[in-house]
């Protein structure tokens, strides 16, 4: 039980307010605020430095031909990274085709069966999946697809990336669906709408902004992945659009050009890095805009 303070206690607490204890507390408060601000700046400044550095080094390499032309042999001027852009696009599309439907379905399942035993197990599996190093995911895709099909391929790279996308999409979908009030579901069911139609026509449209945001962020997440592609999509100095053949990708071409001994290739690596960063940044900004514009008011 709380007791009302006695008069002498009240006096003492009033005296405290003028004592050194108060000054110390004000000082601590000030110290904490400063620490928070310093922390924010230490995040912000390196990011700006990195972006600035990439732009400064890469902007010289980027022109129309760089974006649309295939690579040329060393010694020949010009040449571009079109093969890597196309390759990355293919990998993202393949990964999305695999991961988006499975991810949304799993997210809906988890949200609809929140406390079932299966949901708890599935959630644990997703956490583990998220924790698997991307190079290991690459090895798995290698063992499953590259070995059995006998060739490096865009498909195997896409599968590896899909594994990395999945947890992001599942979590985004689950959290979005959890936010939708039960009353909306009941409104639909009470109209004699089947469970399937209720989920697909009422709940998913109500959560569409969150689900799309999750997809965009998961694409941003995989666009720069290099490790799982090393022995799956493998890299390819030529333009290829065959999903059963090796393809180049932006992270891959950055790696190859960066470790080469030629200064002009280094510039190309910076250029490719700039393209990749702009793409990822664009996805992140689109996700923010999408969330703001499309969020459904309940």
Partner 1 sequence: MDSPVLAIEHFSAGFGETQVLKDITLSVLPNRVTALMGPSGCGKTTLIRCINRMHELTPGATTSGRILLHGEDIYARNPILVRKKIGMVFQRPNPFPTMSIYNNVVAGYILNGIALKRQEKDRIVEDSLRKAALWDEVRDRLHKKGTFLSGGQQQRLCIARALAMNPDIMLMDEPTSALDPKATAYIEQLICDLKKNVTIILVTHNIAQAARVSDYTAFLYLGELIEFGTTEKMFTVPQDKRTEEYLSGKFG
- Which is closer to partner 1, CB of 192 or CB of 261? 192
Q: Shortest gap between Cβ of 172 and partner 1 (angstroms)?
A: 18
Q: Shortest gap between Cβ of 78 and partner 1 (angstroms)?
A: 51
Q: Shortest gap between Cβ of 125 and partner 1 (angstroms)?
A: 23
Contact between 229 and 249 (Cβ < 8 Å)? yes
Q: Shortest gap between Cβ of 51 and partner 1 (angstroms)?
A: 38
Q: Tell me the C-alpha to C-alpha distance, in Å, between residue 152 and each of 92, 95, 239.
A: 17, 16, 15
DSSP class of residue 247 equals B
- Which is closer to partner 1, CB of 46 or CB of 205? 205
* Tokens describing residue 67: 């974006």
- Which is closer to partner 1, CB of 92 or CB of 177? 177
Q: Which residues bind partner 1 (CB under 8 A)?
A: 181, 183-184, 186-194, 197-198, 201-202, 205-206, 208, 296-298
The closest of 171, 129, 147 to 232, measured between CA atoms, is 147
* Tokens describing residue 249: 């990708």
Contact between 277 and 51 (Cβ < 8 Å)? yes
Residue reference for tokens 């928070």: 36
Contact between 117 and 275 (Cβ < 8 Å)? no
* Tokens describing residue 1: 């039980």
- Which is closer to partner 1, CB of 202 or CB of 217? 202
State the Cα–Cα distance between residues 51 and 61, nearest whole angstrom: 16
- Which is closer to partner 1, CB of 89 or CB of 189? 189
Q: Shortest gap between Cβ of 178 and partner 1 (angstroms)?
A: 16
């Amino acid at each position: 039980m709380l007791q009302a303070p006695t008069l002498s206690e009240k006096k003492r607490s009033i005296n405290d307010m003028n004592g050194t204890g108060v000054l110390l507390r004000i000082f601590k408060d000030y110290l904490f605020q400063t620490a928070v601000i310093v922390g924010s700046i230490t995040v912000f400044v390196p990011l700006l430095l990195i972006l600035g550095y990439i732009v400064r080094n890469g902007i010289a390499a980027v022109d129309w031909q760089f974006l649309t032309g295939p690579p040329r042999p060393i010694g020949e001027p010009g040449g571009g990274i079109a093969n890597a852009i196309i390759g990355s696009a293919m990998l993202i599309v393949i990964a999305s085709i695999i991961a988006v439907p499975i991810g949304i379905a799993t997210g809906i399942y988890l949200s609809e069966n929140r406390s079932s035993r299966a949901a708890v197990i599935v959630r644990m599996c997703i956490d583990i999946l998220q924790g698997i190093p991307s190079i290991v995911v690459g090895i798995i895709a290698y063992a499953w697809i590259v070995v059995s099909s006998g060739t490096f391929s865009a498909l195997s790279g896409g599968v590896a990336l899909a594994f990395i996308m999945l947890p992001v999409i599942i979590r985004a979908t689950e959290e979005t669906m959890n936010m939708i009030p039960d009353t909306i579901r009941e409104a639909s069911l009470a109209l004699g709408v089947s469970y399937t139609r209720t989920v697909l026509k009422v709940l998913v449209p109500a959560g569409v902004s969150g689900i799309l945001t999750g997809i965009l962020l998961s694409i941003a997440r995989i666009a720069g992945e290099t490790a799982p592609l090393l022995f799956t999509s493998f890299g390819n100095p030529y333009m290829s659009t065959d999903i059963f053949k090796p393809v180049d990708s932006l992270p891959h071409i950055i790696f190859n050009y960066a470790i080469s001994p030629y200064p002009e290739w280094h510039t190309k690596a910076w250029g490719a890095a700039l393209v990749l960063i702009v793409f990822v940044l664009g996805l992140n900004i689109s996700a923010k805009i999408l969330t703001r514009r499309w969020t459904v008011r309940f």
